[in-house]
Structure 1
Amino acid sequence: MGILEKVYSLIDKGNGVLASYRSPPPNVIGFPTCDSGLFATWKTQSLSFLEKQFSSTSPYYLEFQDKVKKAYTGSIRTGIGVLEAVKEEIESGEISIATDTKSPIQIIENLCDRFHLVARQLRERYNERETMDIQDEYDVQDLFHALLHLEFEDIRAEEWAPSNAGKSTRVDFLLKPERIVVEIKKTRKGLGAKEVGSQLIEDIHRYSSHPDCDALVCFVYDPDGRVANPRGLESDLNKDTDELVVKTYIRP
């Protein structure tokens, strides 16, 4: 959903809160109120949106926070008015808005998608100067490590994963602040779809107990097309659970 569409949605929700209006019982003095549950949800979502797009010190956020406090019709109309002002200024181009940012996993996915282009470009240097040719998995790790530095600051290589039945392994890259592990593989003779799948299934099992890992991104570099059905293998390995999120990218 785009930014402007989000503003429209919040305005519609505010009007929905107003539609839940109920007057005070007979002989009871008080202000007309609306459904408190709907009001609380709308207020929280609106403040979160205004803070994300304009910061908690912006006039829009401060006005909404100051005036929209209780489920009274007047308070709600004030909040809708703030959102209407935001909508009008976005439409007129009078204010700039924060652009949507990609998640860390989306950033890594983009690196996986472009990796082969980068590797190929490295082989085509001016005047046949010495360059880097991707020969094995260690070369893939080195180049991918360099690419990660474009987007991430804290990259920890060779972190030990918990042992499993007396056997232990090293994580290729741990992005500790993001709680993401990046596992690198490269296909070769004797390491095709079946072997890669078996290795990654074992890795997924191990990393599910890693203390700093909420998501495992598996990048399989397959320049020779040894994996006949890459999308099928990705689908078999990917999962999204409370225990671990797994994203697999087989490229090119």
Structure 2
Amino acid sequence: MLSKEDALQRFNRQIKAIEDLMRKPRFCPDFDKWHRDTEILIEKIFSENTRHINDFNNISYDLGILMSNTPDYEYDKVYRNGLTRAESILKSFIDEINDYWDLERKVDNRDCLLIVEKICSRFPKVARQLGSRQRNKKPFEIMDEYDVQYLLHALLLLEFDDIRPEEWTPSYAGGSSRVDFLLKNEKIIIEVKKTRPNLKDKEVGEQLIIDIEGYQTYQDFKKLICFVYDPDHLIKNPSALENDLRKDKDDFMVKVIIAPKL
């Protein structure tokens, strides 16, 4: 994740480039590069599918309708007005960073990890509560791994805004697999398992080893939490499995959470 200083520097660079574009022909190759670079920068700092990228992409640089009798200077005027508006919006982004960057990022990644760990550790209590509803209400039953993902996703939404469910990982060992959840801003991967009679200690461990190796190649995500929901206590020594698979290296951190425990 970019630092505040890097974000400001890069937005100022894109603003400065507008001065050069004003002196060049409309829609020259430099404009295409500037526009794409700015889109990428906005998405890296503010995430995709936000108001920020929409505000930038809604800027018009041409008249839209070509008329044979429209003088060329009108096209120039609209193009330059678009660049001027882009400059204003980028300056607004800079003001937002200066005013709110520290507030929005007061919870660091270590705190975010603790939040995810807490949600996973308390997941069994939530599941039990939903499974014992009163007044003849139909309970929420967790029958398989998809039910675990469904409820965990809802709990994660209490704390995190940008949660990407089920994305494909890059190819590893001749194949690829799905990431259950990505916390995009926090750069955290969450993998979910649910034990069953044919998925116990050995099988869970083997699957997680393969997953961990594959996820280390996934973009710039450097933190992985593996949540194993074990309602029937099929894993005999959960603490040992957690410790065996845990990694605390700076380049990639792995935390395994098995819950509930006896």
Fold conserved (TM > 0.5)? yes
Deviation at 1:125, TM superposition (A): 1.4
The correspondence of residues 83-102 of structure 1 with structure 2, limited to 5 A, is none
The counterpart of 2:161, out of the listed 153, 156, 178, is 153
**Corresponding position of 1:166:** 174
The counterpart of 2:119, out of the listed 81, 94, 111, is 111
Give % identity.
Answer: 54
**Corresponding position of 2:136:** 128
**Corresponding position of 1:94:** none
2-side partners of 1:100 and 1:218: how far apart?
Answer: 20
The correspondence of residues 139-218 of structure 1 with structure 2, limited to 5 A, is 139-218=147-226
**Shift in alpha-carbon separation, 1:150–1:166, aligned structure 2, 3 A:** same
- Normalising by structure 2, report the TM-score: 0.57
**Corresponding position of 1:29:** none
Aligned residue identity for 1:209: T
2-side partners of 1:143 and 1:224: how far apart?
Answer: 18
**SS in structure 2 at match of 1:164:** coil
**Corresponding position of 1:220:** 228
**Corresponding position of 1:87:** none
Aligned residue identity for 1:110: K
- Normalising by structure 1, report the TM-score: 0.59
The counterpart of 1:137, out of the listed 131, 145, 148, is 145
Aligned residue identity for 1:204: I
Deviation at 1:131, TM superposition (A): 2.5
Unaligned runs of 5+ in 2: 1-97, 100-105
Which structure is larger by alpha-carbon Rg, 1 or 2?
Answer: 1
Aligned residue identity for 2:214: R
Contact residue 214 and residue 244 of structure 1 kept, 8 A: yes
Contact residue 109 and residue 186 of structure 2 kept, 8 A: no
2-side partners of 1:181 and 1:157: how far apart?
Answer: 10
1-side partners of 2:159 and 2:182: how far apart?
Answer: 14
Deviation at 1:166, TM superposition (A): 2.8
Runs of 4+ in 1 over 4 A off after TM superposition: 98-102
Aligned residue identity for 1:178: E
Aligned residue identity for 1:228: K
**Shift in alpha-carbon separation, 1:180–1:99, aligned structure 2, 3 A:** closer
**Shift in alpha-carbon separation, 1:101–1:237, aligned structure 2, 3 A:** closer
Query: How many residues are treated as equivalent by the alignment?
Result: 157
Contact residue 165 and residue 182 of structure 2 kept, 8 A: yes
**SS in structure 1 at match of 2:135:** helix
Unaligned runs of 5+ in 1: 1-55, 58-97
Deviation at 1:101, TM superposition (A): 10
**SS in structure 1 at match of 2:167:** strand
Deviation at 1:158, TM superposition (A): 1.0
Contact residue 176 and residue 212 of structure 1 kept, 8 A: no
The correspondence of residues 2-17 of structure 1 with structure 2, limited to 5 A, is none
Deviation at 1:242, TM superposition (A): 2.7
1-side partners of 2:176 and 2:240: how far apart?
Answer: 28
1-side partners of 2:254 and 2:197: how far apart?
Answer: 26
Deviation at 1:114, TM superposition (A): 0.7
2-side partners of 1:247 and 1:169: how far apart?
Answer: 19
1-side partners of 2:107 and 2:186: how far apart?
Answer: 20
**Shift in alpha-carbon separation, 1:138–1:250, aligned structure 2, 3 A:** same
Aligned residue identity for 1:114: R
**Corresponding position of 2:251:** 243
Q: Deviations over 1:1-23 (max 9, x none)?
A: xxxxxxxxxxxxxxxxxxxxxxx
